[in-house]
Structure 1
């Protein structure tokens, strides 16, 4: 299944349970204009209940993954607080949609991801980058601190690493991004797709119900005190045990056969 968004801002393609969402404005460095954000929000909303989609890959056309917000658009909104706020709120909405999506989201990064583009990478559940890719939250260099990108960044890397990126605005290469936990893996560009889609296919082969349960629980427990997190996840596991797929999976394991998921 293939689809183009209005004005071809985003390309959506689904095959074998994997939906690729491609930012498709390379001439604008795939910047997150308000129009782009609204399209992405609509796409993620549709994917939430799309039974053909089990895993999402976020990719980008061209040599830049995403340069962040459209600065020309923001400059045109100088002294228009409500218009500026609408852009940042729409961006926050999209990032939360990714986290709350009941399907795993993998960032396929080839090129530069800066500011809100780095935020997009950090918001995805997993991220794989090609060698040579670079990341930054450089807002401090232009007098606009990356406050909203900071939310996703600080939830993925340690405080001091996050603060270093935010305060210096310096570029971080892919190897360093992997070391500090911003991305999962760095691979040669020749095997980027093989790695990303191999990972996606692996996850797509799991029970969609179980993956949904686990992803939701992962993000919820992160914000809880230790005792509360254990109480919550114990309830999640007990409820998960009642699911058909858990019973099928355990039985299949004990009987040494492949499980037949019903996604329930």
Structure 2
């Protein structure tokens, strides 16, 4: 019966969509099939005007153990498959970053290797204080090179290198301290914390959120002067939006804005 279960469960309510990795018996590993399903779901959500915020969660006591090593062993001699697997994984991570809606990782349990990469790729992350994180590829002779991309864009170089070179687990409190996650909370209030954050964000103009998220990631890669030039243009264009005018007027009139998402 387990094989009949969907690889990823999808649930939507009041503008918040939750995608739940649903292969706990395989430690929610990122097999090719899992990655392809995630990619399809992300494409759908990108076009879904009802979804304002995406929560990425997992079923079971492991958030995601990274790539499916059994699948990799079965394809030791299939270089084309190996390359396609890592390219598909990289595609999914970029889909998350490029998704025109904020993405929150809800982490309970362990997130290792590409699972840690998945957390780092999300815009925000909230974890149970019992959660643990690692990029342990070095321990099995396969350096976490693709997870390194997301990790090094979230934490400082030395913290990233420590995780990558030692392969050791770090706890949620440490992960919060180095910036891998936003908050480490008691597991009993994990859902409350995640969905309160999601509802707060979902209450904003989706058009404004789209503009801001895209600009955030673009300016990160620019020199300081170019970043200010770019974001000045973004703000001037944003000011022409219906919701920007509505928001400013509502603030000055001391009333709640009525978003048009335009």
TM-score range, shorter chain: over 0.9
Q: Write the mapping of 1:209-224 to structure 2, written as runs, cut at 5 A.
A: 209-224=207-222
Q: 2:113 aligns with which of 109, 112, 115?
A: 115
Aligned residues, how many? 260
The 3-state SS of whatever aligns with 2:44 is: helix
Tell me the equivalent position of 1:67: 65
Q: 2:178 aligns with which of 173, 177, 180?
A: 180
Contact 2:8 2:20 in 1 (8 A): yes
| Residue 15 of structure 2 is aligned to residue 21 of structure 1 | no
2: distance between equivalents of 1:33 and 1:114?
14
The 3-state SS of whatever aligns with 2:245 is: helix
2: distance between equivalents of 1:16 and 1:172?
35
1: distance between equivalents of 2:253 and 2:81?
60
Deviation at 1:55, TM superposition (A): 0.2
2: distance between equivalents of 1:251 and 1:57?
31
Q: Write the mapping of 1:20-169 to structure 2, written as runs, cut at 5 A.
A: 20-169=18-167
1: distance between equivalents of 2:156 and 2:75?
34
2: distance between equivalents of 1:61 and 1:188?
18
Deviation at 1:80, TM superposition (A): 1.3
Q: Write the mapping of 1:184-263 to structure 2, written as runs, cut at 5 A.
A: 184-263=182-261
2: distance between equivalents of 1:135 and 1:94?
20
TM-score normalised by the chain length of structure 1? 0.97
Query: Per-residue displacement from partner, 1:178-210 (whole Å, max 9, x unpaired)?
Result: 000000000001100000000000000000000
1: distance between equivalents of 2:167 and 2:253?
55
1: distance between equivalents of 2:5 and 2:126?
28
Moved more, 227-236 or 75-84: 75-84
TM-score normalised by the chain length of structure 2? 0.98
Query: Per-residue displacement from partner, 1:39-76 (whole Å, max 9, x unpaired)?
Result: 00000000001011000000000000000000000011
Query: Per-residue displacement from partner, 1:204-229 (whole Å, max 9, x unpaired)?
Result: 00000000000000000000000000
Report the aligned-residue RMSD: 1.0
Moved over 3 A (4+): none
2: distance between equivalents of 1:205 and 1:28?
36
Query: Per-residue displacement from partner, 1:5-38 (whole Å, max 9, x unpaired)?
Result: x851000000000000000000000000000000
Deviation at 1:79, TM superposition (A): 2.0
Structure 1 gaps of 5+ residues are 1-5
1: distance between equivalents of 2:70 and 2:18?
28
Structure 2 gaps of 5+ residues are none
Tell me the equivalent position of 1:3: none
The 3-state SS of whatever aligns with 2:195 is: helix
1: distance between equivalents of 2:60 and 2:179?
25
